[in-house]
Amino acid sequence: MSETLFQKIAARQIPAAIVYEDDQVLAFRDIHPQAPVHVLIVPKRVIPRIAEAGPQDQALLGQLLLKAAEVAQILGLANGYRLVINNGPDGGETVPHLHCHILGGRHMAWPPG
């Protein structure tokens, strides 16, 4: 199978502004930011989307959310932030490698668009 865009970023084949990395996850700035702070946090092991995750992914998904909160703290988002996971066409997913958006630095409206 060909590598995903985010695997290529993790492998440094495509440049990105990486803000956090450990053995399980990578976080880097979104190329088209939708807020003053917009970072994607991605599990290195590919799960295409949350709808395709299973019980074998439970620990990794928990790790992804815990690390998202840690990265938000590193980014200085003490006043709050939003975590977003887009799933499938109606969800606005464009990259089929599960990732969580960390958005902050401004007030987030509700409902989202």
Contacts with ligand AMP by CB under 6 A lie at: 5, 14, 16, 30-32, 40, 86, 92-95
Task: Provide, rounded to whole angstroms, the least separation between the CB of residue 98 and ligand AMP.
Answer: 9
Task: Provide, rounded to whole angstroms, the least separation between the CB of residue 106 and ligand AMP.
Answer: 16
Catalytic-role residue among 38, 99, 101, 107 = 99
Cβ-based nearer residue to ligand AMP, 55 or 82: 82
Concerning whether 107 is annotated as a catalytic residue, the answer is no
Question: For residue 23, what is the DSSP state?
Answer: S
Beta-strand relationship, 18-21 and 25-29: antiparallel
Cβ-based nearer residue to ligand AMP, 12 or 32: 32
Collect all residues with Cβ–Cβ distance below 8 Å to 44 and sequence separation of at least 6.
Answer: 7, 10, 23, 24, 25, 26
Cβ-based nearer residue to ligand AMP, 80 or 91: 91
Q: How far apart are CA 46 and CA 33, in angstroms?
A: 23
End-to-end CA distance of the chain: 33
Task: Provide, rounded to whole angstroms, the least separation between the CB of residue 10 and ligand AMP.
Answer: 11
Active site residue ranges: 99
